[in-house]
Amino acid sequence: AQKITQTQPGMFVQEKEAVTLDCTYDTSDQSYGLFWYKQPSSGEMIFLIYQGSYDEQNATEGRYSLNFQKARKSANLVISASQLGDSAMYFCAMREPYYNTDKLIFGTGTRLQVFP
């Protein structure tokens, strides 16, 4: 069963507009972490933002914020004031620590294209 679901294969947004990238997840654990990574065409994986399962407030990092709805098991990324350099693949990921294991698994990704 898919643990991380990103239903938007591609998204377009105009420069300076906000965009929301969707992510839903599935876990029975109480303790887990949710991450968003950006992967430009160069291939590097760039960490953007983190939300812990026990965090009560939504995470924010500059222009990035995470809309965390625990009951709905969603962790959507909001990018405010999009820039041309935001064009990239965006991956949602979940970390599930359990005894001597500590998996980090990724969703299928969303390709974001920002146009002038």
Partner 1 sequence: DAMVIQNPRYQVTQFGKPVTLSCSQTLNHNVMYWYQQKSSQAPKLLFHYYDKDFNNEADTPDNFQSRRPNTSFCFLDIRSPGLGDAAMYLCATSRDWGRPNTEAFFGQGTRLTVV
* Residues at the contact surface with partner 1, assessed by CB under 8 A: 31, 33, 35, 43-45, 47, 50, 52, 91, 93, 95, 97, 100-109
Closer residue to partner 1, CB minimum distance, 33 or 67: 33
Sequence-distant (6+) residues with CB within 8 A of 23 are: 4, 5, 6, 34, 36, 74, 75, 76, 77, 92, 107
Least distance CB 96 / partner 1 (angstroms): 9
What is the residue type of 1?
A: A
Closest CB 40 distance from partner 1, rounded Å? 12
Give the shortest CB-16-to-partner 1 separation in angstroms.
Answer: 27
Give whole-number Cα distances, 108 to 50, 56, 111, in Å: 18, 27, 10
